[in-house]
């Protein structure tokens, strides 16, 4: 496990790197891309929630009665950032029991690179909750900062950002705005091009998952 900056964990494993390579490749078709996003998310969320809240339960197995065992008791709120974050939700639900999901939609203006919120379905009160913000791409960092601002404003106890590729400049912007929020990603890329895409990146994650918009 590497740390690109304090609080940023780069989940570093050959099987993950193999999948990120396939995700980046222009030859990867939409169905395979969607499947890879899910598989990568499985690994990221497993690492992110090692400290997931648990409690004791007493069960009977076929060979022993009254066995004290562990089960998840914490109810994490998953916040996918539309559109691309939607591609991560099912994978989180497959790994983590008891999750709830609340959607936030942002659109990045491709000329100014500033993001605008067009949907906010966060619960009014997030007091005491842990929130997992899912967005595969952190480019300028602006979208993730805005979403974490919205979540914080509702009183969440803790946020974790789950991303697939984060740029170095995006990480710096995010760190400055939300120094206490942990981020896990599968890769850190050095830079952005002159139209705000991560380089080498993987292109437009929303388009590759769901198809291009006009
Ligand atoms: C992408 C991506 C992030 C954002 C990252 O969304 O999913 O939300 O860009 O860019 P930033 O770090 O510079 O803010 P986009 O606005 O393209 O929307 P989409 O997922 O609906 O295609
Ligand atoms: N959004 C994406 O989907 N990809 C980028 O490279 C930058 C923003």
| Ligand 1 lined by 189 (C-beta under 6 Å) | no
Q: Which of 92, 158, 162 is nearest to 126 (CA)?
A: 158
Which of 84, 139, 165 has the most ligand 2 atoms within 8 A of CB, as the residue to mutate? Answer: 139
The predicted-structure confidence for 49-81, as pLDDT tens digits, reads as follows 999 999 999 999 999 999 999 999 999 999 999
pLDDT value of position 1: 67
Mean pLDDT along residues 87-112? 96
Beta strands 2-5 and 8-10 are antiparallel
| Distance linking the first and last C-alpha atoms of the chain | 39
Neighbours of 110 (CB within 10 A): 10
Angle between helices 168-177 and 142-153 (to 10 degrees): 20
Region 143-161 average pLDDT: 97
Cα(181)–Cα(117) distance, rounded to whole angstroms? 20
Q: Report which protein residue has its CA nearest ligand 2's atom 2.
A: 204
Q: How confident is the model at residue 92 (pLDDT cuts 50, 70, 90)?
A: very high
Decide which of 6 and 39 is more confident. Answer: 39
pTM of the model: 0.95
Q: Label residue 59 exposed, middle or buried (CB < 10 Å: 0-12, 13-18, 19+).
A: exposed
């Amino acid at each position: 496990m590497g740390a690109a900056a304090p609080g940023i964990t780069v989940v570093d494993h050959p099987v993950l790197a193999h999948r990120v390579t396939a995700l980046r490749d222009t030859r990867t078709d939409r169905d395979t891309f969607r499947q890879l996003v899910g598989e990568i998310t499985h690994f990221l969320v497993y690492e992110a929630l090692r400290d997931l809240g648990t409690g004791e339960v007493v069960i009977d197995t076929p060979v022993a009665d009254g066995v004290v065992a562990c089960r998840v008791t914490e109810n994490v709120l998953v916040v996918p950032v539309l559109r691309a974050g939607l591609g991560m939700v099912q994978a989180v639900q497959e790994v983590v029991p008891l999750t709830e999901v609340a959607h936030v939609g942002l659109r990045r203006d491709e000329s100014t690179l500033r993001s605008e919120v067009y949907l906010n379905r966060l619960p009014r009160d997030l007091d005491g909750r842990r929130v997992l913000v899912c967005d595969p791409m952190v480019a300028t960092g602006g979208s993730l900062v805005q979403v974490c601002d919205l979540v914080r404003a509702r009183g969440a106890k803790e946020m974790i950002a789950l991303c697939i590729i984060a740029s170095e400049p995006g990480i710096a912007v995010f760190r400055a705005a939300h120094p206490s929020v942990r981020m896990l990603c599968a890769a850190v890329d050095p830079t952005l091009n002159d139209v705000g895409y991560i380089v080498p990146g993987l292109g437009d994650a929303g388009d590759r998952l769901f198809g291009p918009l006009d």
